[in-house]
Structure 1
Amino acid sequence: MNAKEFVASWKEQRDDYLASLFAGSGLAGKQLMELGLSDTQTEQIWRLMDTVTTDTMYSLLLGLDGSAAIGNSEQQAFKIYDEDGNLVSDCGDLETEAYECFHGTPASIPVLQERSLALLRQSRKDWNIQGVPTVSVGDDGIVRCHHCGKSFHIGSAHSWDGQRHRSCGAYLHLSVSSSGA
């Protein structure tokens, strides 16, 4: 692995984190889902999180590179080796790669959203194993959440994200009768 591959791996890690966050994975993802944001607000949060994670990763890499101080410590030069003892980065190797990778090409929000949807689809395969309850959809498209007891319409993006009730965050399998919506 060289400096370019090292930086690209961190970018991939960042992109995976953002995708899992918006798929509702982990504590932060669950908290985000509980906000019940509109599409416009979700887009704003995507852009905010992209900026925050880009700045964080870029600063981390510059600190490891010796191109910036880490926290309040003195700026120091570091060398990074892989587990086989091969030099990955000598001081100054990461700065250019990090800038190009994190700032040279803006993040593609639609690409990250597609990754997020892929994670959601994958998680749905495991729902029965996780004990997600099945609830019946009424002929009028109304469902009563087993968790909080509130009723909502499955066509409402404000109330239903396709896998969970936005008000309380409970996952639900929907059972639609042949005469149901």
Structure 2
Amino acid sequence: MIRELRHQKIIEVVTQKQGITVQELTSLLKVSAMTIHRDLRLLEEKGILQRVRGGVVIGRPDETKEEICGYCGKALPARTRVMLFGGSGQAVPACCVHCGMGLLRHERELSAGLTVDFLYETVIDLERGYYLYEPQIKVCCVPSVLAFADRGDAERMQMGFGGKLLNYEELKNCFIGK
């Protein structure tokens, strides 16, 4: 089948079904999976489709690639985001420390994580951070948790906005249990 005809057929099928797997496309078009992957890459570059794990969905990549929280489904704000990692290398994003702790509670294979310092937007290791739990600032999910790389910054923020200052282990106990 000519490439342009394949592309038309792919667009037609994806539009009708709102999405399709690579395996379904290889069967339908009677071409190899590599051919389908090349076709999908070209169609995605044109902004017609978006590749997703194992297949494709209709939509422009710039409209649909926004990362969302693996716990609550919200967008990932720069000042509060968290990235958790499991032993097999998978990465799961969270919109805030609150949701990151929720993921750690429910997803036992997740262990390590990074978050963002609330003041400076620098990346910090979750285990080395200081946290302001339930300050008067509501930035994302409730209860609010703000992360800081420096204890002094966290203490100054606490003076102005209240909340309880916790290290990682204390914070973990608030969400995961003792």
Output the TM-score relative to the length of structure 2: 0.23
Using CA pairs below 8 Å that are at least 6 residues apart, which structure has the higher relative contact order? 1
More helix by share: 1
More strand by share: 2
Output the TM-score relative to the length of structure 1: 0.22
